[in-house]
Amino acid sequence: MAFYCEYCGKEEKELRVLLNGYCSKSPSKKHKAYDGNNTNPFLCKHCGKKEQELRVLVNGYCSKSSSKKHEPL
């Protein structure tokens, strides 16, 4: 079991460690725990793109999202 950041896709084994880290992609500068389906594959809720790694998904360009980033479902 691992925890992922919804903004940058960082993976940590411990939620506490994730939440205490700095996130350059988050508006609050903190990682935010992703609480959706955290098993592979990850899907973009805007365009349906599938990636095996959340980090890869959230760093890609999404033409259907208002933020131009894929967002996990």
19 makes contact with Zn ion (CB under 5 A): no
Q: Is the dihedral of CA 70, 35, 73, 52 positive or negative?
A: positive
**C-alpha span between 40 and 27 (Å, rounded):** 26
Exactly one of 5, 34, 54, 72 binds Zn ion (CB under 5 A); that residue is 5
Exactly one of 4, 51, 58, 70 binds Zn ion (CB under 5 A); that residue is 70
42 makes contact with Zn ion (CB under 5 A): no
Q: Which is nearer to Zn ion, 49 or 53 (CB)?
A: 49
46 makes contact with Zn ion (CB under 5 A): yes
49 burial type by CB count under 10 A (0-12 exposed, 13-18 middle, 19+ buried) = middle
